[in-house]
């Protein structure tokens, strides 16, 4: 997202460099320099990648519980549950129940290409 913002700002600066130079304070210049050096946050954590890959290969159509994924992967249900919350907030899964929590992959989750 910051790359998109920086591209936009740079296009504005290029469109009218004299105006940009006259309005840009040192604080703004420093802020833009910091943004330019920051790395984009990865789409998924390593744990999230492993869980999503497992789900894509083993339970692509769902529904599933976090314990199903944990048992299949041989990891703790707590770790899977935390990663699933992040996958839900990022749009890779939907949560459809409360007791027990039931999940399913979204289209984004089914189609996301995981680069190892």
- Which tens digit of pLDDT belongs to each residue from 57-115? 998 787 999 999 999 999 988 889 889 999 999 899 999 877 888 999 999 999 999 88
User: Which backbone phi and psi does 64 adopt, to 5 degrees?
Assistant: -150, 160
Residues 7 and 62 in one domain: no
Q: Convert the pLDDT of each residue in 27-44 to its tens digit.
A: 998 888 887 776 666 678
Residues 58 and 105 in one domain: yes
Residues 73 and 54 in one domain: yes
In terms of phi and psi (left: phi > 0; alpha: psi -120 to 50; beta: otherwise), the region of 42 is beta
Instruction: Give the number of domains in the chain.
Output: 2
Q: What pLDDT does residue 40 have?
A: 60
Q: What pLDDT does residue 8 have?
A: 87
User: Does any domain span residue 21?
Assistant: yes
Residues 54 and 78 in one domain: yes
Q: What pLDDT does residue 115 have?
A: 80
Residues 50 and 98 in one domain: yes
Q: What CATH number does residue 55 fall under?
A: 1.10.10.10
Domain that holds residue 90: 46-111
């Amino acid at each position: 997202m910051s790359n998109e913002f920086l591209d936009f700002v740079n296009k504005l600066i290029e469109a009218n460099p004299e105006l940009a130079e006259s309005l840009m304070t040192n604080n703004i210049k420093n802020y833009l320099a910091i943004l330019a050096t920051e790395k984009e946050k990865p789409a998924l954590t390593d744990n999230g990648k492993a869980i999503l890959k497992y789900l894509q290969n083993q339970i692509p159509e769902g529904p599933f519980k976090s314990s199903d994924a944990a048992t299949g992967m041989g990891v703790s249900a707590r770790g899977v549950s935390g990663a699933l919350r992040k996958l839900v907030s990022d749009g890779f899964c939907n949560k459809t129940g409360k007791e027990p929590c039931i999940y399913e992959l979204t289209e984004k989750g089914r189609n996301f290409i995981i680069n190892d």
